[in-house]
Chains A and B, each alone.
Chain A
């Protein structure tokens, strides 16, 4: 067996690696200096809210050491080297220099609900201290024309500075009249166009806002599209998944605060720090895939022993997201953990291509960052030969997020 260091090195130098995890000292040194200047400049700005992060941290019953641990894990999640940890900690205290306006279009409020489940930072801190949340329909106090006025005030006051978070798709059929908002009866499309004009950047959160999601599933009755199909001339960041993981929402804001730039994106405008790996690369059931041990039907011997879920429809091998690393709800669990398998919710058209409980038979899979089209059989074969590499990635990323994962033979942690 090859030396594991060699394997890891290979993972990070091979052309097939999806993310350039190491971009070289020169790159990071220059980014580090840039981030330092950025934070210095932000500090000089009049604060929207004056917070003492350590106060907040301590009121949570967490000490400085734990906070730095969190900052270190977050640094790793953002795929930055450890030297950025103090800057990330500092940036957290400056997050509220960046106002956030959150609007809902053709949505189910699932991403708002997900935001309410944020655990680091917790939601009350997000609302009161950490974020400068100026407008958010699900939690705001005002209604009707007072709510409208609140929105107008925010976009006027923070012209060119606010991040516009958009939840939900945009119906374009019937001149957009499948969705109207406000007393004036403005369509969702008009609403989005108007509010994005003065935003610093637009963040499409959840698969509806990114790729049209469920309203755009066949036959797409309302002509639903994602934000990037409507918003032109502005940076758009896509955070897909159904719902998007709140850790990635916070990550995008943090990255913006830290660098003054939007994070590096893949061809689908997804931040590479979150969507650089496949679910499969870091899956806790991966060892069973490699061993050829599969759940064949629900509740069988394989299910009781946590075997691989590929044959009952897991689309982890085709799906790019970091859920296998950060999981959901304070790390309580994730879909593969509950034995259901991944439904590919961070990929375009996943309702029509991925979300069913059978394996892919002969579908064309377009690997978004790999750029190759292969049938599942070719794809699977490729995966099998890449297995050892996958395990290498797992070890590295697990260490990166500060979670040491030890795999025993039956895949339990």
Chain B
């Protein structure tokens, strides 16, 4: 395969477009609200009416407004007169014939269909960079990705740039890791690239495990070739020939689509040996995680790929120096890799114009909770949280008011309503005791109990602790018990003192990020909602209960 073949393939796919195309979302959200029967019903209805050659049905990935799923979009070629392109939500299999009527122009009425304003604030306030092709390409057909330009950036990286130039481009773009910590991506790449030549690895961390987060899942299910292309570019830049995608086992659709994507790319010579007739070889293998949250931590992830127990080890040495089987290893998150092709295509300067001074580009969030419009949103960095909640999300449902927004899952914190004007960037969120995290965003209203929220996340961390270091293994248990007592109105101020002391220990003495960030939900709710803790205290009566003053043995 060379560039001409790639372009020919893209053109063939473009030529092949039908007059009317019906796109149905088959990402996890819409599948779970029943898009599979809709696809079958539409297929049958189109065939029955003899519309099949003129109208094509395409199974695509996430169209973002997940709460309105299953979503069906209709595209019409400009040369064809009517019907109007449109987007429908909550489509049922029974409505397939009505939809086909609309397509067939037989019946003007769209009775029962729920049209969605695709120019509304949910879509218009977003900026698509990473998700530009999500919901447009068919994740199980490589041709459809190629038609929209997939693997062009890889070709450019291999033939027009040398590895150092690719690293330089990524560095200049200012891209920072989208897994949550925000480490400069270019610096990470440069570090691995500068290690002595020899075996190196590229790893994609697709072990997204935060409660309330589903961004990486959407990207993998909707546009897998984008991630593969980003990894291949990274491999070329740092001198690796082997990559691993570590996906959590709870994402069967993502796994199957990645598997298909890898096979299709190999068949076309876009992965494997002598890619684009160059000397660059790159093989990608999937590794399925067994569902341990800690395996999202990079050193635990490395152990897991090696076939060992998924426990973290202290850093340094960082994986860039000593990773998989002791070799230099580049680990980035799904969204980070998904940013790479567009940075090569549009250039570093273009990318730096999006976002803020220290946080460039866009960020994908999974917006959920007490909000009218939930789903996947992509916004430029620096947008105030309030814009995401009120304009994109449409604010809280009737009769409720926003109390706080939880970002960053169990490693993050709750930002109170009065601070919603905070811009979304790494530093601002950190200053509030929260983090960007991988991008989970849960809106909470006046009925949500902040002690309960802290207790929920502490239970998660307690259950997911790997058990290696004492502060995390034993400390989270004690913190959970104290939170439980406080929530039940069974605690005194002494328990809160004990809780805060434990927060300090677990945060500073734990071995890995799981333990170090486990107290964050407690600390941030204490910072902004301390009264909710204090309002539950009971007056201490007589000697303290047995749980606190056990004699030393």
* A and B pair up: no
Give chain A's interface residues, CB within 8 Å of chain B.
none
Give chain B's interface residues, CB within 8 Å of chain A.
none
